[in-house]
Amino acid sequence: MKISIGHVITLVFLMFAGFILYMVAQMMGSKVDLVESDYYSKELKFQSQIEKYRNTIQLGDSALRFNQEHQHVQIKINKNNPEQISVYMYYPQNNEKDVLYTFDNTSLCILDKNKISKGRVILKIEWKDESTVYYYEKEMFIY
């Protein structure tokens, strides 16, 4: 049997279609955690987050200090004396690694690097003093 140009075009088309179907099947099976699980409820509360963030901006640039050392990550709140601090470590690539830490009556938060996952993380820090609630986000790479 002689192979003509029509056979070659048909074969190339079928191989391309098979490749596309394979890629679609691979993409449908992969897990993507780029959005938080309770995204819609957080969207409704977003105005309160803006107010908390404005309170943090009014404190100035030196309100928070971050220090990453070999064994731990330090978060220091320099302005006002917080009653409670919550540090939420949000991993955009995998929500199974997300962790929430709370600290009471301290201005220094120390996170042990042996207990947290390495990689890109978004730190969501919220603290309150006597009458005001503050909020700050920082993207960080834990090494």
Quote the CA–CA distance of 79 and 60 in Å, as a whole number.
9
- C-alpha separations of 39 from 10, 45, 53 in Å: 46, 10, 19
| pTM score | 0.68
The mean pLDDT values, 10 residues at a time, for the chain of 143 residues are 90 97 91 70 81 87 86 86 89 86 88 88 90 90 89
Residue 4 DSSP class: P
pLDDT at residue 61 in the model: 79
Quote the CA–CA distance of 63 and 78 in Å, as a whole number.
5
Residue in the block written with tokens 């503050």? 134
Residue type, 94: N
